Amino acid sequence: MLTSTHDLLETARRNAYAIGAFNIYNLEGVKAVINAAETTRSPAMLQLHPSALKYGKLPLVALCMEAAKTANVPIAVHLDHSTSAPDIELALQAGVRSIMADGSPLSYAENQKFTVDMTRLAHSYGAVVEAEIGRISGTEDGLTIAEKEAKMTDPAEAFDFARRTQVDCLAVTIGNVHGEYKSPPRLDFDRLDRIRRLIDIPLVLHGASGLPPHMISESIQRGVCKFNVNTEVRQAYMQALKAEICGQSPKDLLDIAGEAIDAMQEVITEKLELFGSVGKAYLHETPHAAWLAARQFR
């Protein structure tokens, strides 16, 4: 069931759990997310990083949309980390109703202008917008942000930004990083509390791969209701392919694909359990069209 990100996040927030948003690149990734969500009766999100969009273009978007529509649990499709107005427009025209307008590489003023423009555009399609304030370090899909360029989210700036841009959810930087954590993760929960007190929209934490369970649950208690997961799932995929292709007994292509799906599904299932969304599919009953009808866009 293709579902609005708004419904997924608000329902999760009201019921003190979080939604797992998983980056996918191909059919195997999509199947792994849908299988894990259906098996555990959990809502989930399929996310396309701009590099995946560049690679798969409209056929990959269509695959995600169709998989979401035919799933028997609530699934949203989201464009992750887009810094490109044409890409955002392409995704909106292809039916995606959840986008991240990522102006975090820009100055604060430019980020604000980009986010305002993209939010207006997305809202004209009835889409939900995630933005980022602060800057997350680490590596994702070949893009590396050095630690010295990273910037923790300033609560007052986040408040001003959310109010002026009218975004629907906000990605925060509180010590989370993309890719692998080089040293044990340390999250600034006081900062998260200060942001939470000032801002009433759902908060998102990127870089959930490698966060220990107690940090996940503490983040949820303090207002995070979406976690982005990429690294651990793609590592499981690559390792499974390597093991199967280089294994002693050669296997058929579809058997190898199946092993890779199983490996990713196992990681995704673990994350859904940690996020507390297992068994919560029944709470998300609002189809996107009903949500749109109920909401007045600015």
Please report, as ranges, the residues that interact with Zn ion according to CB under 5 A. 206, 228
Tell me 241's DSSP state.
H
Q: Which helix (H) or strand (E) holds 204?
A: strand 203-205
In whole angstroms, how close is the CB of 178 to Zn ion at the nearest point? 6
How many CB atoms within 10 Å of residue 161?
A: 24
In whole angstroms, how close is the CB of 82 to Zn ion at the nearest point? 11
Ramachandran region of residue 154, left (φ > 0), alpha (ψ -120 to 50) or beta?
beta
Residue with nearest beta carbon to Zn ion:
206
Task: Give the active site residue among 7, 80, 141, 168.
Answer: 80
CA nearest 260: which of 276, 243, 274, 281?
243
Q: Which helix (H) or strand (E) holds 30?
A: helix 27-40
CA nearest 201: which of 151, 157, 154, 166?
166
Nearer to Zn ion, 4 or 228 (CB): 228
- Cα–Cα distances in Å, from 116 out to 22, 113, 134, 202, 256? 26, 5, 17, 18, 45
In whole angstroms, how close is the CB of 49 to Zn ion at the nearest point? 8
In whole angstroms, how close is the CB of 228 to Zn ion at the nearest point? 5
Nearer to Zn ion, 191 or 206 (CB): 206
d(CA 89, CA 29): 24
Nearer to Zn ion, 169 or 256 (CB): 169
Nearer to Zn ion, 228 or 277 (CB): 228
Tokens linked to 292: 């749109």
How many CB atoms within 10 Å of residue 167?
A: 25
The yes-or-no answer on residue 80 being catalytic is yes
Nearer to Zn ion, 73 or 179 (CB): 179
Who's near 264: CB < 8 A, 6+ residues apart? 28, 29, 32, 33, 233, 236, 237, 240
In whole angstroms, how close is the CB of 285 to Zn ion at the nearest point? 29
Active site residues: 80
